[in-house]
């Protein structure tokens, strides 16, 4: 997922269709939306998380202050389904990121206390010591690595969303040639579609007709009515929309790895390498024992799974 793509998403289920509003600039890097969701859209991972046993050796690597408090103070910008959003009660954070954070905490023998902060204040909250870590669909980039450290936990990127049943036979970027594709104006998705169109013509194929609109909601309406053959969107958002819009009857996602993918990272202050390394090892343990994969699969975002919890792996 390119850092050019940022979001200020809000959503509600109206007549079974998710209505999204998207904005570029000044918001979190990931994509998604949702405040109140149908119960079927929210997996119950209580048993899975409850089965995680604390690892005394990993817990021994925690900084003394965290070990004594037995709490990880985690800051997020809680507004983006399925990454992180509020349950129907408007108070309980849920999402695949929330479940991953709870799993890491359980492995380290600590609980996770959420703070809902503005996205723009997350890095400074780490630097000031207000929180211990952040987890908010934040792209791990070289620029941000100058300020904080990351432990990568997910790989996002551009994903192709199509009508259910794939009537236009779209299987990847090369099959978009000659098709009408919708994007949100000014996003990295528009940039990619334009570049892909040039590749089509260079190969002697028809160009892509790129339809740029102001919102994903407009794009979804166009896709449903067949005015466009595909939408370019971010992986977590596209998967969640496909699972929930029209009870999963409207859209689907073209299988495969995200296009121009990049990692989301949990953030840590530069002077907190002890906690960074403990969390990295806990996450890697969850990857190895399969818990990590089960959490992503339950939310339908297993396409973004990483194999290694790298430190500062973004470019």
CATH number at residue 142: 3.40.190.10
Name 252's bridge partners: 162
Sign of CA dihedral 134, 95, 86, 47: negative
Q: Judge if 138 and 20 occupy the same domain.
A: yes
Are 182 and 116 within one domain?
A: no
Q: pLDDT grade, residue 11 (50/70/90)? A: very low
Per the domain annotation, does 2 fall within a domain?
A: no
Lowest-confidence pick of 32-41, 199-208, 235-244, 303-312: 32-41
Is residue 85 domain-shared with residue 71, that is, in the same domain? yes
- For residues 204 and 216, state if they share a domain: yes
CA 240, 93, 141, 118 torsion: positive or negative?
Answer: positive
Q: Where are any strands of DSSP class E within the chain?
A: 11-14, 17-20, 71-76, 85-86, 93-94, 111-116, 133-134, 148-163, 180-184, 209-213, 230-234, 251-253, 259-269
Condensed to tens digits (0 to 9), the pLDDT of residues 220-261 reads 999 999 999 999 988 888 988 898 899 999 999 999 888 988
Instruction: Mark residue 147 as left, alpha or beta (left: phi above 0; alpha: psi -120 to 50; beta: remaining).
Output: alpha
| pTM listed for this prediction | 0.77
Token pair belonging to 76: 């997020």
Task: Work out the number of other CB atoms within 10 angstroms of the CB of residue 223.
Answer: 22
- Residue 29 confidence (pLDDT): 53
Residue 33 sits in the same domain as residue 165: no
248 plus 190 within the same structural domain: yes
Query: Containing domain of residue 46, as a range?
Result: 11-156+261-304
């Amino acid at each position: 997922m390119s850092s050019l793509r940022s979001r200020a998403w809000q959503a509600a289920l109206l007549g079974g269709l998710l209505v999204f509003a998207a904005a570029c600039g000044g918001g979190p890097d990931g994509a998604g939306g949702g405040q109140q969701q149908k119960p079927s859209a929210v997996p119950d991972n209580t048993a899975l998380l409850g089965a995680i046993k604390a690892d005394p050796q990993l817990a021994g690597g925690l900084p003394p202050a965290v070990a004594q408090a037995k709490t990880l103070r985690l800051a997020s910008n809680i507004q983006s389904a399925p990454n992180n959003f509020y349950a129907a009660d408007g108070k309980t954070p849920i999402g695949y990121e929330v479940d991953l954070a709870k799993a890491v905490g359980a492995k380290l023998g600590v609980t996770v206390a959420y703070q809902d902060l503005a996205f723009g204040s997350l890095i400074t909250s780490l630097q000031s010591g207000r929180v211990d870590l952040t987890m908010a669909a934040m792209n791990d980039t070289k620029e941000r690595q100058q300020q904080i450290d990351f432990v990568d936990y997910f790989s996002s990127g551009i994903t192709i969303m199509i009508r259910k049943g794939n009537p236009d036979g779209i299987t990847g970027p090369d099959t978009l040639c000659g098709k009408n594709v919708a994007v949100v104006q000014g996003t990295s998705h528009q940039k990619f579609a334009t570049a892909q169109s040039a590749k089509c013509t260079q190969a002697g194929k028809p160009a892509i007709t790129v339809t740029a609109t102001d919102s994903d909601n407009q794009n979804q309406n166009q896709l449903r009515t067949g005015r466009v053959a595909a939408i370019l969107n971010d992986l977590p958002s596209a998967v969640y929309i496909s699972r929930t819009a029209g009870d999963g009857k409207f859209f689907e996602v073209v299988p495969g790895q995200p296009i121009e993918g990049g990692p989301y990272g949990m953030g840590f202050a530069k002077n907190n390498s002890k906690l960074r390394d403990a969390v990295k090892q806990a996450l890697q343990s969850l990857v190895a024992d399969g818990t990590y994969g089960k959490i992503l699969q339950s939310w339908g975002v297993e396409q973004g799974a990483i194999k290694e919890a790298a430190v500062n792996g973004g470019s």
